[in-house]
Structure 1
Amino acid sequence: MTAALRLGTRGSALAMAQSQQFADSLTAATGRAVELVPIVTAGDRSSEPVARLGVGVFVSALRDALIDGQIDFAVHSYKDLPTAGDARLHIAAVPVREDPRDALISRDGRTLAELPPGSRIGTGALRRIAQLHALGLQLEVAPIRGNVDTRLARVRGPEADLDAIILARAGLSRLGRLDEITETLDPMLMLPAPAQGALAIECRADDSETAALLALLDHPPTRAAVTAERALMATLEAGCSAPVAAFAVLAEGEPTESGDSTEEIYLRGAVISPDGSSDLRRSRTGTPAEAAEIGKALAAELLDLGADSILGQPARHSDPGTQEIGSTE
């Protein structure tokens, strides 16, 4: 009998849920059994804000287990992966992306626009904090961390101390908790984090057999969109403490001379100061094959407009691959 593939995952409810969903899809597509192997990461052991924990805090233990042969592949929330590659590892699949938008959960069913001035809204992401300030709604923003249930208790539990919280809609979907959502936020109000809602399925670079199995669940449109978003983030050298947002979608472009329709990427990117006073937003289009170049070009445009001063670091282009957006589960 063929041995089950060992899937490494964080042990949180959300990580286990999304890993099990991928495992079930892989088994259905290939017939191979999959065993989940929970692994505790440094980020799971700490209650510090994500911005203080450093690069790779939610993925380094998984990657170490993969390199050491303790597991055959790992499922990551793609936004947690450092933009720097590792020659020993290979992202074999980027499955179909969940809805990447943010979601508001309020105590009394009010939408974001209906929250009165002074309302306390919780989020752990500087990207969201910056965009909330930029909206000028006079809301009090409270930094929060913890898993989905811990965060929901801050607004829906018996000891609730917040009027609303913002979470990634994708996480609530994977947990079967979409009924908790008061409002799914339009990206025009709240642009998502780069790669939000997407998964990265990683195996060892020298394990061609496992890579071939995983590749059956790769979704090229999702991979192209995420490639553009992460290329923008890498070129900006934006880390988990930087309020950077990006969202790419694929749509039909202009017909060719022969009448055939073509696909086009539309990428929006933003760099916002934490207090919301500076808000740079631009967009760029191109073909899926140009995904990385589109992200780099849009980042260069934002840098020309002064994004590096907002990010609080010089515009360095020689080593753009060592940062990540931290988990906002």
Structure 2
Amino acid sequence: MTVQLPALRLGTRASVLARTQSGHVADRITEVSGRAVELVTISTEGDRSTGPLAEMGGQGVFVAALREAVAAGHVDLAVHSLKDLPTAPDPRLALAAVPPREDVRDVVVARDGLTLGELPQGARIGTGSPRREAQINALGLGVEIVPIRGNVDTRIGKVASGEVDAVVLARAGLLRLGRADEATEVLDPIQVLPAPGQGALAVECRAGDDELIGLLAALDDADTRAAVTAERSLLAALEAGCSAPVGALAEVAWGDDGDELWIRAVVADPSGSPTIRLSATGLPAEAAAVGERLAAEMLADGADRIMAPVP
């Protein structure tokens, strides 16, 4: 007689994007293990507040309630957008899986099908990200950055209503929602580097739940984990949060002697100047050390002064 195990309870934010991402993970868990998964919606501080993320402390506002629910046993696991996850480890929790990464790039959704370079001087571009603000201003296009927040529908709706001429979003979210064709331009990382961890998901469970950790290991992608480990170690070494004007992108590629990890990063003042752009390479197995080394080089070039808040 086969014993039917109870459904795993997966904590997720309530937004359409969050539930879609969590649903993909739930389906994958069922596929590899045969275990049913039930989504449990949890409200986070970031969902309830309408103020700028930087004023809320930025880091962790979209994940703290989910992590507490996992630690307390109210849910068995949680799925986060990895870029929202604080870099400091929580000993109660295990980052059990980092599934294969979606497209890391940012996109523009602009009126009249325009690209960033086609927008006229003085055009209003909506974003709540200091990272995007800094890098767009560094392009010297003469546009105005307008702070906005909200889900994908809310942000794109501000373009449709004429409140702004364009918004900048993560392409990963549009792809997961089946709305990638609404972007009018995909930004090359040479122009705008993504946030550390952008496009990746984090699956967390309780640190002592060895059975679940073993089950979730089947969802983990080694190259994605190495890349985001380098990006997040850089962010941690810079002592910067997810709302800091820091962009980073690491990739694992085949080199002369096997797999090689390459990471590039930017720290920029919101005005666009000064800006520090550097890169580093190393072995995927040493991803954390590669990120830390690059951060040290950026700090030596004055990154801490660029990120310091204006009095």
Same fold (TM over 0.5): yes
Distance 2:263 2:198 in 1: 14
Q: Are 2:69 and 1:65 equivalent residues in the alignment?
A: yes
Deviation, 1:239, is 2.0
The counterpart of 2:162, out of the listed 160, 166, 170, is 160
The counterpart of 1:270, out of the listed 266, 281, 285, is 266
Structure 1 residue identity aligned to 2:241? G
Structure 2 residue identity aligned to 1:232? L
Could you tell me which residue of structure 1 aligns to residue 49 of structure 2? Answer: 46
**Secondary structure of the residue that 2:54 maps to in structure 1?**
helix
Could you tell me which residue of structure 2 aligns to residue 26 of structure 1? Answer: 29
Structure 2 residue identity aligned to 1:290? E
Contact in 1 for aligned 2:83/2:242 (Cα 8 Å): no
The counterpart of 2:182, out of the listed 165, 180, 183, is 180
Using the aligned pairs only, state the percent identity.
Answer: 60
Distance 2:69 2:147 in 1: 31
Q: Deviations over 1:231-255 (max 9, x none)?
A: 0000000124420110001111114
Q: Are 2:99 and 1:95 equivalent residues in the alignment?
A: yes
Distance 1:219 1:277 in 2: 36
Q: Deviations over 1:158-178 (max 9, x none)?
A: x23111110000011111111
Q: Are 2:38 and 1:35 equivalent residues in the alignment?
A: yes
Structure 1 residue identity aligned to 2:239? E
1:1-329 aligned at under 5 Å gives the runs: 1-54=4-57, 55-156=59-160, 159-255=161-257, 262-312=258-308
Contact in 2 for aligned 1:94/1:201 (Cα 8 Å): yes
Structure 2 residue identity aligned to 1:2? L
Distance 1:88 1:241 in 2: 24
Structure 1 residue identity aligned to 2:253? A
Distance 2:271 2:111 in 1: 25
**For structure 1, which runs of at least 5 residues remain unmatched after alignment?**
256-261, 314-329
Contact in 1 for aligned 2:246/2:265 (Cα 8 Å): yes
Distance 1:107 1:21 in 2: 31
Structure 2 residue identity aligned to 1:42? E
**Secondary structure of the residue that 2:86 maps to in structure 1?**
coil
Contact in 2 for aligned 1:51/1:240 (Cα 8 Å): no
TM-score with structure 1 setting the length: 0.91
Q: Give the paired residue count.
A: 305
Structure 2 residue identity aligned to 1:78? L
Structure 2 residue identity aligned to 1:192? P
Structure 2 residue identity aligned to 1:236? L
Could you tell me which residue of structure 2 aligns to residue 327 of structure 1? Answer: none
Contact in 2 for aligned 1:242/1:311 (Cα 8 Å): yes
Q: Which has the higher contact order (CA 8 A, sep 6+)?
A: 1
Contact in 1 for aligned 2:11/2:78 (Cα 8 Å): yes
Structure 1 residue identity aligned to 2:122? G
Distance 1:61 1:161 in 2: 32
Structure 1 residue identity aligned to 2:32? A
Q: From the superposition, tell whether residues 18 and 241 of structure 1 become closer, same or farther in structure 2 (CA, over 3 Å).
A: closer
Q: Deviations over 1:119-161 (max 9, x none)?
A: 11111100000011110000011011000000010012xx231
TM-score with structure 2 setting the length: 0.97
Could you tell me which residue of structure 2 aligns to residue 323 of structure 1? Answer: none
Q: Could you list the structure 1 runs, at least 4 aligned residues long, displaced by more than 6 angstroms after superposition.
A: none
Distance 2:56 2:15 in 1: 18
CA RMSD of aligned residues (A): 0.9
Distance 1:64 1:264 in 2: 36
Q: Deviations over 1:17-67 (max 9, x none)?
A: 000011111111111100000000111110011111123211111111111
Deviation, 1:114, is 1.2
| Residues 233-242 or 120-129, more deviating | 233-242
Structure 1 residue identity aligned to 2:275? D
**Secondary structure of the residue that 1:112 maps to in structure 2?**
coil
